[in-house]
Amino acid sequence: MIQFSINRTLFIQALNATKRAISSKNAIPILSTIKIDVSPSDITLTGSNGQISIENTIPVSNDNAGLLITSPGSILLEANFFINIISSLPDVSLEFKEIEQHQVVLTSGKSEITLKGKDVEQYPRLQEVSTENPLVLKTKLLKSIIAETAFAASLQESRPILTGVHIVLSNHKDFKAVATDSHRMSQRVITLDNTSTDFDVVIPSKSLREFATVFTDDIETVEVFFSSSQILFRSDHISFYTRLLEGNYPDTDRLLMTDFETEVVFNTQSLRHAMERAFLISNATQNGTVKLEIAQHQISAHVNSPEVGKVNEDLDIVSQSGSDLTISFNPTYLIESLKAIKSETVKIHFLSPVRPFTLTPGDDEESFIQLITPVRTN
Amino acid sequence: MIQFSINRTLFIQALNATKRAISSKNAIPILSTIKIDVSPSDITLTGSNGQISIENTIPVSNDNAGLLITSPGSILLEANFFINIISSLPDVSLEFKEIEQHQVVLTSGKSEITLKGKDVEQYPRLQEVSTENPLVLKTKLLKSIIAETAFAASLQESRPILTGVHIVLSNHKDFKAVATDSHRMSQRVITLDNTSTDFDVVIPSKSLREFATVFTDDIETVEVFFSSSQILFRSDHISFYTRLLEGNYPDTDRLLMTDFETEVVFNTQSLRHAMERAFLISNATQNGTVKLEIAQHQISAHVNSPEVGKVNEDLDIVSQSGSDLTISFNPTYLIESLKAIKSETVKIHFLSPVRPFTLTPGDDEESFIQLITPVRTN
């Protein structure tokens, strides 16, 4: 039966990172527990919601853990409840001791708390992913790719495949991530330094956002492994599993146009703030849009929501070229698109009032491109 | 028709303070608007939810306001919507101009936003409170009295009078504030430096908490005025009105006992943390309680919730005297009570396992007293 002592602060951090995979309202009640596996050399915490699973390992070799393992074993404990209890204990360290009938006695300072646990046999087996030939990526790069694409995935389950981000490796080094909800699209491509086996997967955007929270910036690189239905992101102490989406992702390459009639370069922040004002008014009308009028020496934004009011605003630009154009669209898409662009300026290419327009960062021509579909108005 | 220009940051602050009285889901739709009254010398913003009303005045003499009034008038605007729009504008200042049909044109930088307003005649008249013979209190003192009592008021509407704080001035200088939900009671008395007319009112605890948020710590003193149904708290630029509760407040003085059998002095924070741990376990059982065992040289807390587990904890104390005693109670009441006590130690007096016990701050004998009713267990 389990017995160990550990630094409480470090244990709380590991528990909280693992808890991100655990939903207290899961349809499978046993998934509201956290699994604690104690071996002679480490403790592994496991949490899962059926879609994502997180394994967090604390080795005895971690000096900050103050981990002394007297006896190994495995047990399940109600995750939220257990973490609240551990967080409330008074001392810097804590003693964890399993007694009869899956009970656990926690001792810290003068406080002694006994909790009921569950037999570890009740926990579902997480699917295994073979850990050979990893694709190694810088965590920071992977997180920035997620930030640039995941927001453009659909939130609606009517076409489940569109709730994911399509990630493809071709020619062993051409990495592409793309997401679309059929109104807008965001695509990031990079060329990898190291080559790897080609793959083509669709990862739920929600899982990717969760990954970005769990893998903090101090984790330099992440190893990526695939099975037919799962993907595993792994660092030294954290393994993050997520299910893949099944089905064929639509061909997004055909949407990318190369020709354009009008080019305008805006200051990213100033365009975003103008669109946020426009949104406040357009949002008062169902399917409200903003109208962008591009004429020589004068670019302006207009919203008219008969119930609440209207906006008229001259926009500052960096440069413009090509034909005059008037185009209407949902300002939300442009706001979210501009939030994903880190460069000071943004280049927008228009072809016609009824064709999608593209956005690229002012400092980066090809590797990051977004596309927004206009709304036809008369 | 209204026309003025103003510093946007200061205007937003005043709007947000006024908004605290405004509920967007009010049963009376017009109360979701903010009333703007512009006179040649100042702007007054008014918000109300029918229970609380706030008037916020910005005078042209306020140098930070950069207020230039060209033309006076009054108008109603949707509060949340208007504040969001003002917050989104680009420039440090803003021009506010009323045009035909209660429309307002806001100009800031290159942005021009037109909003629909409403005729000020639609706004209900707030009851007047005569502003003679104010009771003048230090804001900080009044806020600390609220923090010490309002939490003990009832949250349930079954006995509406208990949702208020009973505030009484007698002998022109003896000020008493008391709240009880019939399970616990908290009472603060002070002797005023300056004398005033006696009063006896019951103020909704919710309104008092709102007052404490609106009257920031930089407001040194507050004038208090009464009518038969309302109370007005006033500073230089803010008037805060709240309705009084009608009915007779129960006699709480008879609950205060003077004799006791057992006295224990605890460290306030360490007792609070022990009770927070106890609560985590007791809360898993309906009407869960903590049992306090007071014996010579040994004071301990115990919880047993058969479904989830149990707590046993030895408590550190500063001193104890009198008889041994075992008493059970809801730890929530003790936690909330200890949160209201600012002194490092707390003195608790017990009479018997079935009689309420009292808490007083270790550094303050009589002016702040709390009472908690135990739970009978067998």
Asked if residue A85 belongs to a domain, the reply is yes
**What's the whole-model pTM score?**
0.88
What is the average per-residue pLDDT within B240-257?
Answer: 92
* Secondary structure (DSSP) of A157-192: TTSGGGGEEEEEEETTTEEEEEEE-SSEEEEEEEE-
Q: Is A81 on the interface with B (CB under 8 A)?
A: yes
Q: Do B244 and B269 belong to one domain?
A: no
Distance of CA A156 to the CA centre of its chain: 16
Of B116, B146, B164, the residue at which a domain comes to its end is: B116
Average pLDDT over residues B355-362: 95
Percent of chain B whose pLDDT exceeds 90: 86
Both B237 and B276 in one domain: the answer is no
- Does the residue B238 lie in any domain? yes
Q: Is residue B51 part of a domain?
A: yes
Asked which of A213, A228, A249 is the last residue of a domain, the reply is A249
pLDDT at A108 over 80: yes
Task: Give the pLDDT band of residue A49 (cuts 50, 70, 90).
Answer: very high
A302 CB within 8 Å of a chain B CB: no
Residues B221 and B286 reside in one and the same domain: no
B293, with CB counted inside 10 A (0-12, 13-18, 19+), is: middle
pLDDT of residue B378: 61
Instruction: Let me know whether B261 and B363 are in one domain.
Output: yes
Is the domain of B242 the same as that of B277? no
The residue among A116, A144, A165 that closes a domain is A116
Instruction: Indicate whether B96 belongs to any domain.
Output: yes
Task: Name the minimum distance, in Å, from the CA of A353 to any CA of chain B.
Answer: 24
* Total number of domains constituting chain A: 3
Give the model's confidence band at B299: pLDDT under 50 very low, under 70 low, under 90 confident, else very high.
Answer: very high
Mean pLDDT for A128-154 is: 93
Q: Which of A121-135, A220-234, B182-196 shows the lowest mean pLDDT across its residues?
A: A121-135
Residue B295 and residue B274 share a domain: yes
Q: Does A172 touch chain B (CB under 8 A)?
A: no
Q: Would B129 be classed as within a structural domain?
A: no
B46-54 average pLDDT score: 95
Q: For the segment B122-132, what is each residue's pLDDT rounded down to a tens digit?
A: 999 877 888 88
The tens digit of pLDDT for each residue in B303-323 reads 999 889 999 999 999 999 999
- Residues A165-180: tens digit of each pLDDT: 999 999 999 999 999 9
Check residue B365 and give its pLDDT.
66
Do B43 and B149 fall into the same domain? no
Nearest to B88 among A115, A277, A284 (CB): A277
pLDDT computed for residue A195 by the predictor: 85
Mean pLDDT of A51-67: 95
pLDDT, residue B321, reads 94
Give the span between the Cα atoms of A337 and A331, in whole angstroms.
10
| pLDDT value, residue B58 | 97
Residue bearing the bigger pLDDT, A378 or A124? A124
Q: Which domain does A335 fall in, by range?
A: 257-372
For B93-109, write each residue's pLDDT tens digit. Answer: 999 999 999 999 999 99
Q: What is the DSSP string of A298-355?
A: EEEEEEEETTTEEEEEEPP-SEEEE--EEEEE-HHHHHHHHHT--SSEEEEEE--TTS
Average pLDDT estimate for B278-296: 91
Residue A161 and residue A100 share a domain: no
> Which chain B residues contact residue A102 at CB under 8 A?
none
Do the beta carbons of residue A118 and residue A30 sit within 8 Å?
A: yes
Higher pLDDT, B70 or A194: B70
B111 touches chain A (CB under 8 A): yes
Any domain includes B44? yes
Is there a domain that residue A211 lies in?
Answer: yes
Do A92 and A162 have their domain in common?
no
Q: Are residues A322 and A241 in the same domain?
A: no
Binary contact (B273, A90; C-beta < 8 A) = yes
Confidence of residue B121 (pLDDT cuts 50, 70, 90): very high
Residues B232 and B299 in one domain: no
Q: Of residues B228 and B328, which shows the higher confidence score?
A: B328
pLDDT in tens, B150-209: 999 999 989 999 999 999 999 999 999 999 999 999 999 999 988 888 999 999 999 999
Same domain, B359 and B291: yes
Give the residue, B319 or B256, on which the prediction is more confident.
Answer: B319
SS (H, E, C) A271-304: HHHHHHHHHHHHCCCCCCCEEEEEECCEEEEEEE
Say if A179 falls within a structural domain: no
- Which CATH number fits the domain that encloses residue A236? 3.10.150.10
Contact residues, chain B, for A317 at CB < 8 Å: none
